[in-house]
Structure formats: C-alpha cells, structure tokens
Structure 1
Amino acid sequence: MALSPADKSVSILRALSDFFANPLARAVGLVFAADSFLFGSWVARIPYVKYSLDINDAELGLALFLLPIGSIVMNPFTGKIIQRIGSAQSCLIGGLGFFASVMVPILAPNLLILSLGLFIMGFFTALLNVAMNTCAANLEKEQGLTIMSTCHGMWSLGGMLGSALAGALIWADIPASYHLLGVAIFLIIFIILIQPTLRAIHEEKSPESTSLARPTKALMVLIFIGIAVSMGEGVSFDWSAIYLREIANSSASFSALGFAFFSLAMTIGRFVGDTVIPRFGQKRLLAFGGLMAAAGLLIAILFPNPYIVLLGFLVLGFGCSLGAPILYAASMRLPDTTPAAGLATFATLSFIGFMAGPPIVGFIAEGFGLPNGLLFVMILLATSGIASHWARI
C-alpha cells in the first residue's frame, strides 16, 4: 500500500532524527559539512581573486584546473593511505591540509602562486573526500544504517552555510583574507576535536591492495554519470557567482546567493534521499536527476535575470542532489572489485568532473562566452540521464 504524503513526511523526519541522534553518524556528517563549508567560503571569493589579480576567464580557468590536478596526483594513493592509517586519521590529515591551504590562493600575489595554492588544496581534499566517504560506508556496514545520502546532505548544508556567510561578509565589506583565515582556524580546531569520535567507528582491515580498480564497463558507466553530475556541482561552486555578476548583472553580495540556492536544493534533496531512494529506485532517480539538472542550467542560460538564474541553480541543485550518494554507494558494490578499490577509483575519476569542469567552462567562456560554457555542462548532464539506463546499481 502506498504511503500518504503525511506518512512519507513522518518517515523522512524519523530518518533524519535517527541520524542526528546517533553520535557517530552525526560526527561523520559534520566532517562532510566542514569540507564543503570551506568550499562554499572559497568559491564566493573567486570573483575577488579574479578581479584583484586582474586575470581573464581563461587564466582563471587554468588556475582552477590545478585543483583537479592535485586531486589526480593524490587519489591513486588514497585507498592505501586509508588502509594503512585508518579513515579517521586520514580525515585529520586531509582536513588539516585542506583547511590551511586555502590561505595560499586567497593571499596569492600572482597567477603562479594562485595555481600552486589550488594544487595543494586539490591534493588534500582528495584524501579528505575518500576518507569521509569511507567513514560513512564503514558506519553503514557496522550498524546496518542507511546514511550516505544524509551525509552528502550535510555536505550540501555546509556549502550553503559557507557561501551564505561569505555573502553576508562581502556585504559587510570584510576583507577576504580575514574571512577565510577565520574559517580555516575554526575548521582546523573542529577536525582535531572530532577525532576521538571518528576513531570509534569500526574499521575492517583488508590484506588486499586498495589501489585503483580495473576499469570494467560497469565502473566506467558510473564514472561517466559521476563526472557529469560533479561537473554540475563544480560549475555551481566556481562559476555561479561570476555568472550572476557578469551575465545577470547582479551585485557582488547577491552573486554569492547562486551557490547558496544550489546548496539549499542539494541539502533538501539529500536529506530526503535515504527515504526516497529505496522507494523510487536508483536508476529512475539518476535518470530524472540528470534531466532535471540540465533543465536548471537551461533556465539560467535562456533567462539571464538575477532572480530567474537563482531559480535555475535551485533546479540544478535538486537534479544533482542524489547523484553522489547513489553513485558512491554503488561503486562499493561492483562485482569483481573490492569496495575500497571501487570507491577510490570512482572518487578519483568522477571527482575530475567536479574539479576539471570549472576550468573547462572557463576555456569555453573565454572563446565563446560563459553561457556557452554552461551549455556544454547542460548537454553532458542530459546525456548522463540517458546513460543511467545502463548503470549497474
């Protein structure tokens, strides 16, 4: 018998209540939130960096490309690092490095130092990304929980709060360096204090290698969809503020709302994900999400009014919201692939979309305009919705 809307609401609220009542689940979720809080704080300041260094879209895109390069360099080693020192300790190392390194690009005196700082950020965020997802997967297995979507919801919530705070501080004319220094110090203290709780999560030690897995057809389909979805996320992170400022002609403080609206939709979608995914099916939601995300970008492209663009990023957020929770979990259930290797490989290659997408958009924007950069991502998202038919999940 189908559940009534009231019953569904109760089920969703109960799942969220159980998540926040569980100290281990709550701790993992807070690590996800801390990671994106820094991202949200950083991306809102990207226009400041661009204008202060007087660089064009292509130069900014080239600098942003160093972030995924850093991730590519680190990601093949993440599985082995986590196996050797544990996911909690890996969260600590990745978090300390990521949170501290944001000061390099925000204080960069030139394009070279900006690029170096972004490379370092990418290097450490790769380790933190795989480590916190491993923590969530270990806790799901240990306690028989379903928390992956809610953890990713916490990631979206952190990004929304980080960008919203940045918008307020920009409006208040607080210097970017003071803003990000305060955020970095707060998050460094947090990742140290949360360590004892993370270490309480049971972790199975496997004697087998956790390097990258052999690229099977099933894994490559997941990676393609993951690249498309993460490109949608990456565009919102790195280009939403600039799109609103330069194409929709919004104010500096209003432009920070683009990512906040995107993150709001991602947060809502992911918080209900652990309830709706079993009900409607992973393939169906992946297909619908890809097409919905593409529609959101199309709205922003066709109607460059600040308020309509915000609506477009909201729709994009709902469309992208369940991609990562579904795909990360699926990558650990592939046949003939160990869970750690599947997760590390998927995270390595799909994360390229999140990191490389914005630079690609920058190169397209320099030659053909920023709306055409978004159009490229829109087409990729629509294609991923179709490709989900062949996903083995």
Structure 2
Amino acid sequence: MNISIDEKSSSTPSIFRTLFVFFTNRQARAVGLVFTTESLLLGGWVAHIPYVKEKLALTDAGLGLVLFGMPAGLLLMNPFTGWIIARLGAARTCFVSALFLCLSALIPINAPTVLLMALGLFLVGLSAALLNVAMNTSAADVEREHNILIMSSCHGMWSLGGMIGSLLAGTLIALHVSPSVHMLGVSLALLGLTFVLRPILASIPAQPATESSAAFVRPNMMLLLMIIIGVSLALGEGAALDWSAVYLHESTGASGQLAALGFGAFSLAMTLGRFMGDAIIPRLGARRILGYGSLVASAGLLLALLVPAPLVALAGFALLGAGCSLGAPILYKASMGVPGIPAATGLATFATFSFVGFLAGPPIIGFVAEAYGLTYGLGLVVVVLLLSAVLTRKLTL
C-alpha cells in the first residue's frame, strides 16, 4: 500500500494509514531505527548531566562551556557531510557514523576530567552531525523510491528514542545503577542493532550524487528564513535536552529520578506530534503548523518558568515538545527543495545551522544562567520561539 507524497486536502491519508505504511515498509522502518539510535544515546546522556555536573564540580557557566564540545564537533563535520555522503552513499554513512556515535558516547559519562569530557562531547558532535544528514537523506531516498510519506515518522522515531532513553535513565537512577553501566549497556545494544540494520540500509536506492551536492552553500533568503526558524525550534529542543533535568532538580526541587522525566515528557509529546505529522502536515499546511507550533512551544516553556512546581514544569516541557515537534520534519524536507540549490547541499547547510541551535544554544543558556539565573536563561528561549512564530509569516512552503 503506497501513500503518494503529492496527496492533498481531502485525499490526505489518515494518521493510522501513514503509520501502517511506515512500520510495514522494511526500509522505512530501518531508517527510523537509525533515528532512534541517535536519540537513545543522547537521551541517556542528558539524563545524567546533573550527575556529571556534580561529579566534576561544574558551575552553570562551566557546564555550558564544556557542552560547547558537541557543537564544535558539529561545526567541523557538517561542511563535509555532503562530500562524504556523495562518495560513501547515505546508507553506508548511516552505518559508519552510528558505529562511531555508539563508541564516542561512552567517553563523556566516564571522563575523569573536564578536558576529557569536552573531548568526548566533541567526538559525539562529529558523529552525530554526519549521522544527522545521512539518516535524513536516507529517509528522503525511501520516500522517493516508494512514493510514500515517512519523514515525520522517522523524526518521531528519534523522539521515541529520546523518551525511552530518558525513562530508562530515570528508572536506573532510582535503582542506583551506575550511569557508566547504563551507557555501556545502551551502546552495546545499539552497536548490535546497527550491524543488524546494515544490509537493509544497503538496499535503499540512493539518489545519484553530483559534485555540486557535495558543497556547502551560502544560504539565499528562503533558506536563511528556514535556518532562523529551524535554529529557534532546535534551541527549544536543546533546552529540553540539556537543561530540563537541571531545571527540575535545582529550581523545582524534583528528585533525581523525577527530574530525569523532564526530557521524557518533552519527548513523549514530540513523539506523538511527529507520528501524526505525515498525515496532518499536508492537511493543515506546513507554514501554519510552524507558526502555531512556535507559539505553543513558547507558552509551554513560559508556564514551566512561571510555575516552578515539578508536575507543572513537566506539563510545560510537554507543551514545548508538542510545539517543536513538526519543525524538523518540515524544514529538513523543505531545505532539500529550495530553488537553485541542490538537495543535498540545502540539507547539509540547513542541518549545520539547525544543529548549532540544538547543541550550541544550551551552553549559551548556561552562561546566562550563571549571570542571572536559570529562569532567565530559559526565558531567552521563550523570546526566540516567539520570534520564530513571527518569521513563519514570511516563509513560502
């Protein structure tokens, strides 16, 4: 059963039909599991950030500075992602980068010094940057080959992995399992999954690569708008990833295991939104969803800041997740269709700046938190999300 990517309005497929097609398509399912691999590792890591912060006696600003290791790795790698994918192919690049991510994720949690932690995060950033572009390219290749809609569902798998990683971490924290043991177990399991998925990924027909698709491009006005909106929404995601547990623990007095559920609540709402996305984006329109989504995200985070009670804050982070949920599926796909820019080039350029918002935003929040308090640091995200809502009016999708 195929769902045409051109279906609109009344002919738009139902949520259940798009999900059925996604989960019953072998290649789509495999790409979705690659998305899950990345977020399971990141979700496990973020839940243990308070532990690492305490172990290494880091201040908010100190933590923010160390967290710059990830975006530094991303900035170094992303300009080369198109070139690497053009030569290895998206599927093989998924396999190689997933292997490196599983191994590098073991370094930050076990680092005995701040320098080694920063180095580990730098290597995680390198691997995640390459995997990020490769898996989105693979998702687009599957959509093209089978004429189906799966991009939002693949991002839903990413959010599902983050939610599972957060819930697993919270459970293991409650059981007093060492964070090092937790991350080792997850990494080994995902290494095994990566090898299982390898032959399926290799069967995905790739779009022929050209030299122009391997280049990094200076954004035109349309791509620049996408980047600004993408960075804003990615900043909301990064705030939840790196600071939800810290905020819940330090500002609302939540226990360690409850604080770990902050990213879980965010990821649950984001997962549900993304699994509905392939059906509702054609129905409601991409620009409208981006605009209202930014408003919902800002309102949710503002609620968490104005009412610093654990359960209310969890609800606020859930709203943040719902509002941000469809930004990445819409904009990653749109970046491959910007007039005058090759698809892989547009994707690599957008991914670079978007992931910078995701990874570099949280350290900036740390610097603001050190000077004025974490509430003000997260309040900056609220303002940026409101700006994103305004800019969506100028976007053509």
The TM-score normalised by the length of structure 1 is: 0.97
Deviation at 1:392, TM superposition (A): 2.5
**Is residue 2:280 matched to residue 1:280?**
no
Give me the whole-angstrom Cα distance separating, in 2, the residues matched to 1:105 and 1:350.
23
Deviation at 1:53, TM superposition (A): 0.7
1:348-371: CA deviations, max 9, x gaps?
111100000110000000000001
Of residues 277, 287, 301 in structure 1, which corresponds to 2:305?
A: 301
Aligned twin of 1:382: 386
Of residues 202, 207, 210 in structure 2, which corresponds to 1:204?
A: 207
Amino acid at match of 1:179: H
Deviation at 1:92, TM superposition (A): 1.4
**Is residue 2:347 matched to residue 1:333?**
no
Give me the whole-angstrom Cα distance separating, in 2, the residues matched to 1:391 and 1:189.
42
Instruction: Give the RMSD, CA atoms, in angstroms.
Output: 1.4
Deviation at 1:266, TM superposition (A): 0.3
Deviation at 1:214, TM superposition (A): 2.6
Give the alignment of 1:1-393 within 5 angstroms.
Answer: 11-209=14-212, 210-393=214-397
Give me the whole-angstrom Cα distance separating, in 2, the residues matched to 1:51 and 1:207.
49
Give me the whole-angstrom Cα distance separating, in 1, the residues matched to 2:223 and 2:210.
23
Give me the whole-angstrom Cα distance separating, in 1, the residues matched to 2:88 and 2:113.
37
Amino acid at match of 1:333: G
How many residue pairs match? The answer is 389
Give me the whole-angstrom Cα distance separating, in 2, the residues matched to 1:207 and 1:293.
38
Deviation at 1:42, TM superposition (A): 0.5
1:273-332: CA deviations, max 9, x gaps?
001000110110000001110001100110000000000001000000000000001000
Give me the whole-angstrom Cα distance separating, in 2, the residues matched to 1:208 and 1:100.
31
Amino acid at match of 1:385: A
SS in 2 for 1:194: helix
Give me the whole-angstrom Cα distance separating, in 1, the residues matched to 2:109 and 2:190.
17
SS in 1 for 2:17: helix
The TM-score normalised by the length of structure 2 is: 0.96
Deviation at 1:99, TM superposition (A): 1.1
Aligned twin of 2:5: none
1:25-55: CA deviations, max 9, x gaps?
1111111111101111010010000001111
SS in 1 for 2:76: helix
Among all aligned residue pairs of Structure 1 and Structure 2, give the percentage whose two residues are the same amino acid: 52
Deviation at 1:379, TM superposition (A): 0.4
Q: What 5-or-longer segments of structure 2 have no aligned partner? A: 1-8
Give me the whole-angstrom Cα distance separating, in 2, the residues matched to 1:378 and 1:99.
33
Deviation at 1:97, TM superposition (A): 1.0
